[in-house]
Structures are given as structure tokens and as C-alpha cells.
Chain A
Amino acid sequence: MKAALAADNLIEISGLRFSRGSRLIFDGLELAIPRGSITAIMGPSGTGKTTLLRMFTGQLKPDAGSVLVAGQEVPRLSRSDLYALRRRMGMLFQNSALLTDFSVFENVAFPVRENTDLPERLLRNLVLTKLQSVGLRGAANLMPSELSGGMSRRVAMARAMVLDPELLLYDEPFSGLDPISLGVVLRLIRLNNDALGLTSIVVSHDVAEISHIADHCFVISEGKVIASGRPDELADSESELVRQFMTGAVDGPVPFHYPAPDYRQQLLGSS
């Protein structure tokens, strides 16, 4: 049974525990992500969505539990195996993380130059193709400082997919985008996924947007998956928790506040 599951799942997380200082971020998180799908990971700010992505890439190690990516136990991989696994992934960072000294073209070319010996002419065509697919072939010679937020996001997307990864991780691809760029990015995520046959994981709290493209959603809060299912299933979920999140009510079972001492006491307290 377990082996049959493993065949369709690109990522399987079980019993994940992780803490930062005294703050417990994951407390027995369980999650499985099927190959070839678009999976949304949602949750309030600060629940550890970015942290979870860093577990997939092996940049952070869990305190306990298993992180299986493509059948490999990420925290236990040797350095060279981890780097080999990373060549099969692409990641879009929350703040794009373009290399400031390099032009748009060189940014997209960077992973290719560093990881392969592709001849210059092929490399040029590859990079231009990827830039074309995000609509920025004309911006190839600009520097990152000359781009808007939305443009940087699309360049970072081109860079993340330039080596045709099996797995693409998007950290908040929609934040701060105008409606047009947002539509473009949404369409790109869907298009990439279907055309290249990859598996996509999208972290977002834009419930409405992500519902359009996601095949499956996970809602994470307080260190656990509190709900999972298709977007339409979640929208009319029984659980008050999930409905609160999907409809955007300010307070409810999912706390809006970071853990803090009693408000009244702190305001009235002597020091």
C-alpha cells in the first residue's frame, strides 16, 4: 500500500516537527503531493509556509519526521546527492532573489552556465525561449534594478524553469501584482505545469486566485494541516477553521495574532 502511494507522490511528509528557538513551527505535519499536479499550500502569515518549502529543498532540516522528495529522504542526503536532487527542482522566492550584478539575460542563464556545458548559441536560444514564455524577451538586457516587482517575479520564474525541473516551488507568486500581471502569472503556472509535465507547489494566501488553478489545497495552521482537498470542497467545508480562512474573516479559530501576553494586562501593566 505504502509503496503504491510512493509511486504517484513526488513529495511525502510525515511526522514533521521543527522549531525555531522555543517556538514550535511544525508539530506532526503530514502531507503528500501527487506528481503532475498543482498543489496550493495556504495558511496565515507566519505559519511556516516558506519554512516548509525550505524543508523540501533541504535548506532546513527537521527536528524529527521524514521529508521524502522523489523517493529520497532529504535530511539524510549527502551533500552531492542533495545538489543532484536540487538540479531537478526550481524555486521562485518570495522576493524574486535575482542576482543584482547580472542582467535579466544573465540571471536566467546563470543556472545553465553553472550546471551545464551548453554551447553559447544553444544557451542563448534556451534563455530567450524562456524569457519569451514570460513575455520579457525584450527586457533581456535590463538590470534587475530597472525592473518592476511583477517583472522581477516573471524573470525569476523564467530562471526557475530554465533547466526544465520536475518540481517547481512558488513562494507567494501573486503578492503585489497588478490584475494583469497576476493573470499572466496564473496562466504561466498552469501552462508550465501542463506543457512541461511538472509538479507545482504554490504557496499563497490569495484564496480566490489560487482556487482557479490548484488541483489540490492544503491549509496549514499552528504546525498542522488543518484541511485539505479540492478548492471547491474547501470552500463549503464543514470546518469553521477552513471556512474562516477561505472567506477571510478576521478572527476565529485561526488566530490573527502572534502569540502574546494578555493585551489588557500589558496595556495597563506598570512596565
Chain B
Amino acid sequence: MTLFMQLQGSLLASMRKLGAVVLFLGEILAQCPAAFTRPRLISAQVHNAGVLSLVIIMTSAFFVGMVIGLQGYDSLARLRQEDILGAGVALTLIKELGPVVTALLFAGRAGTALASEIGLMRATDQLAAMEVMAIDPIRRIVAPRFVGGAISVPLLTAVFNAIGILGAWFIGVYIMGVDGGAFWSQMQEYVDPSDIGEGVSKSIVFGIAASLIAVYEGYNCAPTAEGVGMATTRTVVTTSIAVLILDYMITAFLI
């Protein structure tokens, strides 16, 4: 009974938060046209959120690629189907692992940085000071960060996929001796444009969700040191859950 009530309570709280996040998205979108008139602010954020995440994305991608290469080789070798390793790896990465893992890593590296940066501005009255200076903090601070993050995720996903495939190639072809020509040609054969479309649409949705959650948590954090800490934690937790739920929904919708 108490468990049921707890579930009901947290479900209600999640719904209320979802509503608040959607309203916040509306506020940001209303300021986006103004933000686009200053592309430098956005490109600075693509640098912050995207370029600075590159190392962690590339390292993770190489290892994820290697482990899929190894597992894939092990399974396929039992069926004497090693030649389709390239196709299997590419499909797994492009449709599923690339967008999901990139979004999770983005939440950990860039999302937390965004939330704590904006949260600190809230806690030290910098946002209030801007309001008094007749500068809308949503336009000047939040919108460029949201757009920069949302642009970064699909780009990072593309990098993740490319490096991941390279990792799988390294294990499969270079170490395990799968035929290199077969690896690439089977990949070309089996990966459809629609698969790529699925991956790209996922990464766009995840980028919007991850950036939105990070700026929302930062902007609405309690104006104290603990408030900022809690906002960063909530950013990772909420983004992870949101990405996994959205991933299922998009997959179910597209298949």
C-alpha cells in the first residue's frame, strides 16, 4: 500500500515536472530567434558543450566499438558468419548504441557543466542582476546554451559511430583476422539510409532532451551551494531516464 502510494506520488511529481519542463521549452523557443541573431554566442556553446566532450566521446566510442567487435566476432564465429561482423557492428552503433551512449556521456560531461554553470549564476544573483539590467537571462544565457547543446549531440553521435566502427574494425579485422573487404562491403550492403535516419532522429531528440533538462535544472535550482549540487545530480539522473524512455518510444514508433 505504501509502495503504491509512493509510486503514485512520484508519478504525479514527474508529471508536474514534465509540464514545467515543457513550459520552459516554450519560453526558450520564444527567445531562440533572438538568440540566432547572435551566432557567436551559440558557436561558443557548441565549443563548450561539443568540442570539450570530444575526448571522452572518442575514448568511450573506441572501447565500445572494440567490445562489440569482440562479442560480435565471438557469436558470429560460432555460426561461421564472421563476414557480416561489419554490418552487425554498424547497425548496432548507428541505430542504438551511438545515440544512447553519446547522450548519456553528454549528460555526464556537458549537461552537468551547463547545470552547474547556470545554477551558480542563480545562486550568486548573476541572473537577477541581468534581469535588473534589462537583459533577459533566458535570451542571453539559456537559449544559446540550449541550442549549442542540441546541435552538439548529433555531431558527437556521428563521431561516436565513426570511432566505434573503427574500434570494431581494429578488433575484428586487425586482431581476429576477419576479411577486411567483407567487413566493409557487408556493412555497405546491409545498412540502409532508413537505419541512419533512425539514428539521426534519435540523436536529435536526445540532444534536445539532454540540453533542455540541463538548462532547466540549472535555471530553476535552489539559490544555494547544495542547490547547485542537487541540480547537477538531477541533471544526470533525469537525462539518463529520459533518454532510455525516449529511446524505446522512438524505436517502437519507427520499427
Contact = CB atoms under 8 A, between A and B. Distances in A.
B125 A93 contact: yes
A94 B129 CA distance: 11
Contact of B129 (A84, A87, A97, A115): A97
A97 B126 contact: yes
Interface in B203-244: none
B135 interface: yes
A100 B134 contact: no
B120 A115 contact: no
Contact of B120 (A98, A100, A110): A100
A93 B129 contact: yes
A59 interface: yes
B140 interface: yes
Q: Which of the listed residues B124, B131, B134, B140 has the most CB atoms from chain A within 10 Å of its own CB? A: B134
Contacts of A91: 129, 132
B129 A114 contact: no
Contacts of A86: 131-134
B128 interface: yes
Interface string B129-144: 1011111100010000
A86 B136 CA distance: 11
A159 B135 CA distance: 13
Q: How large is the interface on B (under 10, 10 to 19, 20 to 34, 35 or more residues)?
A: 10 to 19
Interface string B114-126: 0000001100111
Contacts of B128: 59, 93, 97
A97 B124 contact: yes
Interface string A121-151: 0000000000000000000000000000000
Interface string A224-268: 000000000000000000000000000000000000000000000
Contact of A99 (B126, B131, B134): B126
Q: Which of the listed residues A59, A94, A99 has the most CB atoms from chain B within 10 Å of its own CB? A: A99
Interface in A93-122: 93-95, 97-100, 110-111, 114-115
A154 to B, nearest CB: 15
Interface in A56-95: 57, 59, 83-84, 86-87, 89-91, 93-95
Contacts of A90: 132
A99 B140 CA distance: 13
Contacts of A93: 125, 128-129
Contacts of A110: 133, 135
A59 B133 CA distance: 12
A227 to B, nearest CB: 28
Contacts of A115: 133-135
Interface in B163-194: none
A4 B147 CA distance: 51
A84 B120 CA distance: 27
Contacts of A84: 134
Given A100-B120, A114-B140, A59 B131 contact: yes
Contact of A87 (B121, B124, B134, B140): B134
Interface in B74-122: 120-121
B131 A114 contact: no
A84 B125 CA distance: 21
Given A86-B133, A93-B128, A114-B133, 7 more contacts: A86-B131, A93-B129, A111-B133, A111-B134, A114-B134, A115-B133, A159-B133
Interface of A: 57, 59, 83-84, 86-87, 89-91, 93-95, 97-100, 110-111, 114-115, 159
